[in-house]
Chain A
Amino acid sequence: MRKLLTLFAATSLLATGCAGAGSLGTGSSTLVIAIVSNPQMKDAIALAPEFEKATGIGLKFVSLPENQARAKITASTATEGGEFDVVMISNYEAPQWAANGWLENLEPHMAATPGYDEGDFIPSIKTSLSYQNQMYAVPFYGESSFLAYRKDLFDKAGITMPAKPTWQQIADYAAKLDDKANGVAGICLRGKPGWGESLAPFTTVANTFGAQWFDQGWNAKLTSPEFTEAAKFYVNLIREHGEVGASSAGFSECGTRYTQGNAAMWYDATVMAGTNEDPASSKIVGKSGYAPAPVVKTQASGWLYTWALGIPKVAKDKDAAWKFMAWMTDKAYVQKVGQTYGWNRVPPGVRQSTYAIPEYADAAKAYAKPTLDGIADANQQKVMASPVPYPGIQFVGIPEFQDLGTRVSQQLSAAIAGRESVEDALKQSQDYAQTVGDSYKAVQ
């Protein structure tokens, strides 16, 4: 026992030495950056030492998966905790937090940075991060949604994908290509609960069927004929020709199925293309075609989402924070990633100039144009049949939506698992939504 105690004491002294250094305060020239642990961000972290060397500003990253990162960043910003100098947020938070006064207005910073060229950002992305026409966050990468399909399986079945497919056509193709015996699902669609998981593709389907979450008077519309039709379509398509384990399948799980050859089609985020075409993880490189998000009643149907960087109002050294953000989102960064890691890993969907780079256009020729088109078309006028009182395409841009969306998506996943009828799921969801809608009616 004594020996063990000595060992403990020695180790703890050693560890104190190491850990003690960690609890010294961060100097004025060190930035703490909260970031989401997606592959594109990991590349940025790997390249960060170049920035540190060039500017003398030290960088510390707190990198977490989306759910944890979002919770942590929100709690910190809302309580003005001040742990972070730069935070990664999306176009869901940006307008709301700007209105709350939690974020720094970036227009003066951008104006003071020659060559930054904020006009180069794709307009729909720029607008989604703005409040009263001023940008409060700068985009790192952006995405819309489109449909990946296996050209080889289509050819074998003698089907040609039209230039602008409708959902009905897709359902027919899924039925034809569904091959349960060989473990190939007709289509892979998200069913996992989560306001950013199954609700993203589902809401775009609802939008193009002519449905909406709330009408202009903040009445919840989840039991309207259009919404019901859309929900039934989505749930039935998955149950009949969708992947196994659909009710807990999110982006990751569908990605696995598709890249390992277990699905003929996959409707999801445009960033999926990077993984589909990556030989290190995909078994179907070069076999996919990319069609625009299927429509029914609207011109287009893709969603709009971007991971962006912002500065909390309580951050101490805003100029240094801006320097880092500018580095991570300017044209030179795109070139750096392309040359260091390959053009497939370049952050997509934010700068129009990226799509003009010949090497990128060549490496990403299968999906570059569909991505750009999808993002460019992602505005409410094009993807929705009637106006709504809230921002957002695949989400409702109000603070209550994280909670409301998750509850509704849980009902949806129960319907997908066959535990509940679509009507019951929608009735329960309508109740949840109406409670939220009422609180907005009162304010109007």
Chain B
Amino acid sequence: MSTLSVSTPKSTSQAKVEEKRGLSTAAKRRLPLLPALIFVVAVTQLPFLLTVFYSFQSWNLVRPGSRHFVGLQNYVDVFSDTTFLVALLNTVVLTVVCVFVALLLGLGLAILLDRKFLGRGVVRTLLITPFLILPAAGALLWKTTVFDPTYGLLHFVFGTDVDWLSEFPLAAVMAQIVWQWTPFMMLLILAGLQSQAKDVLEAANVDGAGRWRTFVSITLPHLSRFLQLATLLGAIYIVNSFDAIFLMTQGGPGTASTNLPYYIYQRAFEGFDVGQSSAMGVIVVILTMIVATFALRLMFRTFSVSGGIK
């Protein structure tokens, strides 16, 4: 993942020079990193290794004495399971659409908020709130208050009896997820907007650049780092979306809105099949890593070509 390195050429060569001088400097530089690194390694790797271990076993929690080693059989079963492939497709669609839409909305809202106006603090708190409430509460809220065919707001506004959750299950779930994650995108992008150097903006204004020109040539490149960050982090969280599907559609009708986390949940907590659910978890990690690597390479190339301040 060398694409993640954002150090300017100057400091890299500087580092190389210092490394030649002796390990101590490099070690000193690594020191602040160590507490976090050690902590995360200790807490996350043990469960992960245990998950991998379980993935090589056939173990049904409610059939005692059923636990035995089966090698890669679980992985073979998972890949030949059509429902898994449906869940995979749904996960990809869900993640791509939700991240994209939430990013656009978040960008729009952040731009609207990046100026002084009356009641700005109130508006900002209001806009964050969908992100603050428990995801479970948000999912139930949308299921009952918005989508209910008889008592919901959509029924009230449009007057139709459309059963949104059965006719457009994936779209309904996506709407809820976008609503919940837009504030996250907005917060990140707003922080990025606020860290723009004011004098550069003023200089552009004095030079006669219009708002649109300033936005495209100065703000957007500056924001690129934050947009990338928002996309990356948002994607990782949204891939794991669970509450909306669990509470709104139970993955249905059929398997129309089943995504990978929900399917794993079914394997683990209804099937109590520890082996298969662990294997699926490991597969998700590998797939996400592959996608993340490619996505990062693609994003990095796009944005470095356009130049910009950094």
- Are these two chains actual partners, yes or no? yes
Interface bracket on B = 20 to 34
Task: Determine whether B60 belongs to the interface, using a CB cutoff of 8 Å to chain A.
Answer: yes
Task: Determine whether A441 belongs to the interface, using a CB cutoff of 8 Å to chain B.
Answer: no
A402 to B268, CA, bound (A): 11
A61 to B249, CA, bound (A): 29
Task: Determine whether A202 belongs to the interface, using a CB cutoff of 8 Å to chain B.
Answer: no
Complex contact B254–A420 (CB within 8 A): yes
A402 to B248, CA, bound (A): 20
Q: Which residue of A lies closest to B66 (CB)?
A: A399
Residues from chain A with Cβ under 8 Å of B273 in the complex: 403
Least CB distance from B263 to A in Å reads: 11
Complex contact A79–B249 (CB within 8 A): no
Complex contact B166–A403 (CB within 8 A): no
Task: Determine whether A376 belongs to the interface, using a CB cutoff of 8 Å to chain B.
Answer: no
Complex contact A193–B64 (CB within 8 A): no
Complex contact B150–A257 (CB within 8 A): yes
Q: A183-B150, A247-B163 are in contact. Are A410 and B253 (CB under 8 A)?
A: yes
Q: A402-B270, A403-B273 are in contact. Are A248 and B249 (CB under 8 A)?
A: yes
A245 to B150, CA, bound (A): 9
Task: Determine whether A222 belongs to the interface, using a CB cutoff of 8 Å to chain B.
Answer: no
Residues from chain B with Cβ under 8 Å of A246 in the complex: 163, 166
Q: Which residue of B lies closest to A68 (CB)?
A: B269
Interface string of A406-444 (1 = CB under 8 A from B): 110011011011011000010000000000000000000
Residues from chain A with Cβ under 8 Å of B167 in the complex: 417
Complex contact B253–A403 (CB within 8 A): no
Complex contact B61–A78 (CB within 8 A): yes
Task: Determine whether B259 belongs to the interface, using a CB cutoff of 8 Å to chain A.
Answer: no
Q: Which residue of A lies closest to B271 (CB)?
A: A403
Complex contact A399–B253 (CB within 8 A): no
A425 to B254, CA, bound (A): 9
Interface string of B68-83 (1 = CB under 8 A from A): 0000000000000001
Interface string of B120-164 (1 = CB under 8 A from A): 000000000000000000000000000011110000000001010
Complex contact B252–A96 (CB within 8 A): no
Complex contact A414–B252 (CB within 8 A): yes
If over half of B's interface residues share one DSSP class (helix, strand or loop), that class is named, otherwise mixed; here it is loop
Interface string of B250-263 (1 = CB under 8 A from A): 11111110000000
Complex contact B61–A74 (CB within 8 A): yes
A248 to B150, CA, bound (A): 13
Q: Which residues of B contact A (CB under 8 A)?
A: 60-64, 83, 148-151, 161, 163, 165-167, 248-256, 266-267, 269-273
Task: Determine whether A126 belongs to the interface, using a CB cutoff of 8 Å to chain B.
Answer: no
Residues from chain B with Cβ under 8 Å of A420 in the complex: 254
Residues from chain A with Cβ under 8 Å of B161 in the complex: 244
A383 to B163, CA, bound (A): 34
Q: A100-B64, A403-B270 are in contact. Are A245 and B148 (CB under 8 A)?
A: yes
Interface string of A276-305 (1 = CB under 8 A from B): 000000000000000000000000000000
Complex contact A245–B165 (CB within 8 A): yes
Residues from chain A with Cβ under 8 Å of B64 in the complex: 78, 100-101
Residues from chain B with Cβ under 8 Å of A255 in the complex: none
Task: Determine whether A192 belongs to the interface, using a CB cutoff of 8 Å to chain B.
Answer: yes
Task: Determine whether A194 belongs to the interface, using a CB cutoff of 8 Å to chain B.
Answer: yes
**Chain A 95-114 residues near chain B, CB threshold 8 A:** 96, 100-101
Q: Beyond A75-B269, A414-B253: 12 further Cβ-contacts under 8 Å?
A: A71-B269, A74-B61, A74-B62, A245-B150, A246-B163, A248-B249, A256-B151, A411-B254, A413-B252, A413-B253, A414-B254, A414-B256
Residues from chain A with Cβ under 8 Å of B163 in the complex: 244-248, 417
Least CB distance from A67 to B in Å reads: 8
Complex contact A247–B148 (CB within 8 A): no
Complex contact B253–A247 (CB within 8 A): yes
A413 to B250, CA, bound (A): 10
Least CB distance from B306 to A in Å reads: 35
What are 19 A-B pairs at a CB distance below 8 A?
A: A78-B64, A79-B61, A100-B62, A193-B251, A193-B253, A195-B270, A245-B150, A245-B165, A246-B163, A248-B163, A248-B165, A248-B253, A399-B63, A413-B166, A413-B252, A413-B253, A413-B254, A414-B252, A414-B253
Residues from chain A with Cβ under 8 Å of B248 in the complex: 248
Task: Determine whether A204 belongs to the interface, using a CB cutoff of 8 Å to chain B.
Answer: no
Q: A78-B61, A78-B64, A399-B62 are in contact. Are A410 and B254 (CB under 8 A)?
A: yes
In the complex, which of the residues B61, B166, B270 contacts A248, with contact meaning CB atoms closer than 8 Å? B166
In the complex, which of the residues A71, A400, A402, A410 contacts B251, with contact meaning CB atoms closer than 8 Å? A410
A261 to B228, CA, bound (A): 52
Residues from chain A with Cβ under 8 Å of B255 in the complex: 410, 414
Task: Determine whether A262 belongs to the interface, using a CB cutoff of 8 Å to chain B.
Answer: yes
Complex contact A262–B150 (CB within 8 A): yes
A413 to B165, CA, bound (A): 12
